[in-house]
Amino acid sequence: MRDTSELMSAYRECVRGIWNGAFRPTVGPNADFDALDSFWIVRDVLFSEFVLRRLGVPPLSRPRRPVREPVKHVHVIPECSPVPIKVNRPSLDGNYYWDDPIRQARADGLSLAWVDLFDWDSFGYIDLQFHVVKIERCSEHPHVVGRAALVDVHHVTVHFDEDEWARESRSSQDVGGPH
């Protein structure tokens, strides 16, 4: 796996700088909250250019808003154990609630797929301190597999599985399908 933490950091810096300096709506009666929708389009383009293109991966083929599924072959690797984690509790309304009682997980036996960057504030200044991940494996708490979670960007590295991507690319070409 290729460590892509620097690419993700560059993407994070760019996204938060553009939001904080240009897209963040001013408060008041003339606030342009449609800027949020436009910003998500810009985020997709920036992710395609800052991360995917530099990895040799085709750009996103469709908008990711709302972001719910991981980017294929991008994995988040804890750098400490136990790693602090905020797990999404199940909800009937489809919204994310980061108040599951699990607050940490051992790094061994934990597999996390990268979904997006996250900040608590959708309209103010952002820092994007967290990665949204999908828990693919958790030996310590197997009941949370499949759920979304938040991990601090400072406690993890982000990796791209080039072998996995190459295998999938070859198999889609073998059956005549586009990648």
Quick: pLDDT tens for 64-95: 766 778 988 999 999 999 999 999 998 888 88
Q: Which residues of the chain have pLDDT under 70?
A: 63, 65-66, 172-179
Query: Cα separations (Å) of 72 from 15, 76, 115, 165?
Result: 21, 12, 9, 8
Q: CB burial class (10 A; 0-12, 13-18, 19+) of residue 98?
A: middle
Read off the tokens for 178. 């586009």
pTM as predicted = 0.88
- Asked if 166 and 73 count as a contact pair (C-beta separation under 8 A), the reply is no
Model pLDDT, residue 66: 66
Half-sphere exposure (Cβ direction) of 171: Cα atoms closer than 13 Å:
6
Model pLDDT, residue 174: 59
Model pLDDT, residue 179: 44
Residue where the block lists tokens 């509790």? 89
